[in-house]
Structure 1
Amino acid sequence: MTDVFLQTTPFFLLIACGYGAARVGLFRGEAVVSLTKFVFYFALSAMLFNFASRLDVAEVFNIDLAAAYFIPTLVLYLVVAFAALRRGTGLAEAAIEAQCGVIGNVGFLGLPMLALLLGDRAAGPMLVMLSIDMIFFGSLVVMLIVGSRQGGANLALVGALVMGLLKNPMIVSISAGLAWSAWNLPMPGPGREFLVMLGAAATPCALFAIGASLADKSAERVSVALWLSFVKLVAHPLAVGLVAWYGFGLPWQVVGVMIAASAMPTAGNVYIVAQHYRVAPMRASSTILVSTLIGVATLTAVIDFVN
Structure 2
Amino acid sequence: MRDILLLLPDFLLIVVGFLVCRYTTLNRPIWESMEKLVYHLLFPVLLFTSIVRNPLNPADAASLALGGVATVVLGMGLAYALGRWPGVDPMLHASGAQTAFRFNSYVALAMAERLGGAAGVAQMAVLVAVCVPLCNAGAVLPLARHGGHHLGRELMRNPLILSTLGGLVANLLGLQFPDAVGTTLQRIGSAALPLGLMAVGAGLQLGGLTIAPKLATALLTIRHALLPAFALGFGLWRQLPPLELTVLVAFAAMPTASSAYVLAVRMGGHGPFVAGLVTVSTLLGMVTLPAWIALRLAVG
Question: Does 2:60 align with 1:58?
Answer: no
- Letter matched to residue 155 of structure 2: L
Shift of 1:133: 0.2
Q: Which residue in the other structure is 1:11 paired with?
A: 10
- Letter matched to residue 123 of structure 1: A
Q: Which residue in the other structure is 2:217 paired with?
A: 226
Q: Which residue in the other structure is 1:182 paired with?
A: 172
- Letter matched to residue 196 of structure 2: A
Which deviations, in whole Å up to 9, do the C-alpha atoms of 1:168-219 show, x marking residues without a partner? 2222222333333333333212112212222222232233223323246623
Q: Which residue in the other structure is 2:185 paired with?
A: 195
Q: Which residue in the other structure is 1:140 paired with?
A: 141
Distance 1:117 1:212, change over 3 A: farther
Unaligned 5+ segments in structure 1 are: 150-156
Q: Which residue in the other structure is 1:163 paired with?
A: 153
- Percent identical residues: 24
Does the Cα contact within 8 Å between 1:52 and 1:177 map onto a contact in 2? yes
Deviates more, 1:233-242 or 1:115-124: 115-124
Does the Cα contact within 8 Å between 1:65 and 1:250 map onto a contact in 2? yes
- Letter matched to residue 114 of structure 1: M
Which deviations, in whole Å up to 9, do the C-alpha atoms of 1:219-271 show, x marking residues without a partner? 3132332232122111122223322x034433343333333333333445655
Please give the residue correspondences for 1:277-292 in structure 2 after superposition, counting only pairs within 5 Å: 284=274, 286-292=276-282
Q: Secondary structure at the match of 1:214?
A: coil
Q: Which residue in the other structure is 2:230 paired with?
A: 239
Question: Does 2:40 align with 1:38?
Answer: no
Q: Distance in 1 between matches of 2:271 and 2:46?
A: 30
Q: Which residue in the other structure is 1:71 paired with?
A: 70
Does the Cα contact within 8 Å between 1:91 and 1:144 map onto a contact in 2? no
Distance 1:16 1:281, change over 3 A: closer
Does the Cα contact within 8 Å between 2:10 and 2:282 map onto a contact in 1? no
TM-score (norm 2): 0.76
Shift of 1:111: 4.8
- Letter matched to residue 197 of structure 1: R
Q: Distance in 2 between matches of 1:60 and 1:214?
A: 42
Does the Cα contact within 8 Å between 1:53 and 1:181 map onto a contact in 2? yes
Which deviations, in whole Å up to 9, do the C-alpha atoms of 1:66-88 show, x marking residues without a partner? 43233343334434544552435
Deviates more, 1:190-199 or 1:66-75: 66-75
Distance 1:304 1:286, change over 3 A: same
Q: Secondary structure at the match of 2:57?
A: helix
Q: Distance in 2 between matches of 1:185 and 1:271?
A: 32
Give aligned pairs, total.
Answer: 291
Unaligned 5+ segments in structure 2 are: none
Which deviations, in whole Å up to 9, do the C-alpha atoms of 1:42-89 show, x marking residues without a partner? 333333222322344433996544432333433344345445524354
Q: Which residue in the other structure is 2:128 paired with?
A: 126
Question: Does 2:210 align with 1:214?
Answer: no
Q: Distance in 2 between matches of 1:15 and 1:279?
A: 20
Does the Cα contact within 8 Å between 1:93 and 1:280 map onto a contact in 2? yes
Distance 1:139 1:54, change over 3 A: same
Q: Distance in 1 between matches of 2:189 and 2:262?
A: 24
- Letter matched to residue 174 of structure 2: N
